[in-house]
Structure 1
Amino acid sequence: MTSRSKSLADYPRPNVAVDIAVLTVAEGALNVVIQRDAEGRASLPGRFIRERHTVEQTVREVLELKLGLSPDHVRPHLLAVFSDPDRDPRGWTISIAHAVALPNVGLSGVIGELAPVTPTGRLASGEELLYDHAEIIAAATDTLRERYEDQADPDDLLRPPYTLSELRQLHEAVLGRPLMRDSFNRRVKPLLEPQLDADGKPATRIGGGRPARLYAKAAPTATFGWRLPSPRSEQDPGS
């Protein structure tokens, strides 16, 4: 006796959503954009995929309708699929999570609020998020930090031209730890192009001390070659 072949209608169908973690650096700290429901509970901006809509269309809808951002100028990348059957108490829901890092100046009109995150990707306030959105934020911050360990501002969070100190402070904010100034400067300088003023002389900026040289990225895809050390790792290599 042969078993009856099943049709698609015989299988359960989960809800499918797109959630986006928007990261930025503000006031010297890594932040994520959160939104609140009618009861004031925090979550990431997201949207269920409508019938006959693609994931890409839904990503654009979240950017435009939920965040007030131009989908033509923002390029979120696929982060991971979160599929724990119990992740959403409202019902079986799979989240196709995306992440994007944007300069703070580009988020002036964003729908939502900026919330600082810790080095482990949790909200610095200690507030809990709905569903498993804390896990999504942690994954997004992990991938962001991996890029910033290896490249000079790969997501262009800092508008050029900038000083070496400004660039190091940006990396410290993303990585969540202090960096050795001299070591950072040695590693980053080969990847930067010194800027010139209208007279062809080195462009500088005065910020509380002697004038500091201004730079911009010379090779956007170039890497440091190894991870950036913190003061502790340089002082105590065996730790």
Structure 2
Amino acid sequence: MEYKERLKQFIQELKTGYLPSVSMDFVIFGFHEGQLKVLLLQWEGIHDWLLPGGRVRLNENLDDAAYRNLRERTGLGEVFLQQFHTFGNVIRNTYYAIEETLDRLGLSPEDLEGLPGRDVSVGYYALVEYTKVKPSPDLLTQEIRWCSIDEVPRLLFDHNEMITLALKTLRRQLSYQPIGYNLLPDKFTMPQLQQLYETILGQPLDRRNFQKRMLGYGILERLEERKAIGAHKAPYLYRFDMASYQNALAEERMFII
């Protein structure tokens, strides 16, 4: 099926099977080779990038729709997913005029007849383990790939603002909830965990103080295994004690780093 036909099919489905005026957008964070990355997609036939998004079916709860859309994008069913903001400005095109955005997407105002004039988007951010994600393009997507948080290009709509606000929210979360289970391998070293925190916070942390605090929270289990790293002393491997980790998430304890 040609792109134009797929586009018309997509718009027709929006008119008949989904909640009008409400969309959702996802800031999907992954951590790989010391970099915090975000998942971006490119619609077919355009050079611009945007965040993965989705719609809510007429008989679907909002959070259920979010998990469904995220599963379709990443192939993962169990991830950390959280609402962080609702974007409802009348004009949500930060860099391009509405007409220019439609043109970039291969649309015209006539194509959108029968749809509400504006969308309110519920923003979610997700934390996923990079190596387990299998990005999946949808009907209109030409490419989907990871991008370093420091190299995100100019995105369509207000999606750059979404990433900025999601990152601020993630940084605040470090003060009251643990981070790491959905971003690191099952087994990891203390330096790997510290590097993750430093990358998210954008600043270095004292090694001894960080290790003391993290161990004091009671959410880590030190294994007898060590990670071989050449001639250097091999550091111990750790994993999260999931019962304690989930309790810490539920209780929102103060995690002062």
SS at match of 1:139: helix
What is the CA distance between 1:17 and its match in structure 2? 0.9
Match of 1:16 in 2: 22
Given the two structures, how large is their TM-score scaled by the length of structure 1? 0.73
Paired amino acid for 1:17: S
Given the two structures, how large is their TM-score scaled by the length of structure 2? 0.68
Following superposition of structure 1 onto structure 2, how do residues 6-45 of structure 1 map, counting pairs within 5 Å? 15-37=21-43, 38-45=45-52
Paired amino acid for 1:115: C
What is the CA distance between 1:23 and its match in structure 2? 0.7
Match of 1:146 in 2: 172
Match of 1:232 in 2: none
Q: Distance in 2 between matches of 1:31 and 1:22?
A: 8
- Which of the numbers 147, 157, 162 marks the counterpart of 1:115? 147
Q: Distance in 2 between matches of 1:148 and 1:83?
A: 27
Following superposition of structure 1 onto structure 2, how do residues 1-239 of structure 1 map, counting pairs within 5 Å? 15-37=21-43, 38-65=45-72, 67-70=73-76, 72-74=77-79, 76-88=81-93, 89=98, 91-111=117-137, 112-118=144-150, 124-125=151-152, 127-190=153-216, 191=218, 192-196=220-224, 203-208=225-230, 209-218=232-241, 219-220=244-245, 221-222=247-248, 225=254, 227-228=256-257
Q: Distance in 2 between matches of 1:56 and 1:180?
A: 38
Higher share in helix: 2
Q: In the TM superposition, what whole-angstrom CA distance separates every residue of 1:167-190 from its partner, at most 9, and x where no partner exists?
A: 111212222222111111111122
8 Å CA contact 1:83, 1:95 repeated in 2: yes
SS at match of 2:170: helix
Q: Judging changes above 3 Å, is the alpha-carbon distance between structure 1 residues 107 and 212 closer, same or farther for their aligned structure 2 residues?
A: same
SS at match of 1:24: strand
Q: Judging changes above 3 Å, is the alpha-carbon distance between structure 1 residues 60 and 79 closer, same or farther for their aligned structure 2 residues?
A: same
SS at match of 2:188: coil
Q: Judging changes above 3 Å, is the alpha-carbon distance between structure 1 residues 155 and 142 closer, same or farther for their aligned structure 2 residues?
A: farther
| CA RMSD after TM alignment | 2.6
What is the CA distance between 1:57 and its match in structure 2? 4.6
State the identity %. 24
SS at match of 1:76: strand
8 Å CA contact 2:180, 2:193 repeated in 1: no
Higher share in strand: 2
What is the CA distance between 1:54 and its match in structure 2? 4.0
Structure with bigger RCO (C-alpha 8 Å, 6+ apart): 2
Kindly tell me the number of residue pairs found equivalent between the two proteins: 202
Q: Judging changes above 3 Å, is the alpha-carbon distance between structure 1 residues 226 and 59 closer, same or farther for their aligned structure 2 residues?
A: closer
Q: Judging changes above 3 Å, is the alpha-carbon distance between structure 1 residues 14 and 50 closer, same or farther for their aligned structure 2 residues?
A: closer
Paired amino acid for 2:54: R
In our comparison, the structure showing a higher alpha carbon Rg is: 1
8 Å CA contact 1:15, 1:93 repeated in 2: yes
Q: Judging changes above 3 Å, is the alpha-carbon distance between structure 1 residues 117 and 136 closer, same or farther for their aligned structure 2 residues?
A: same
Paired amino acid for 1:34: L
Q: Distance in 1 between matches of 2:136 and 2:183?
A: 16
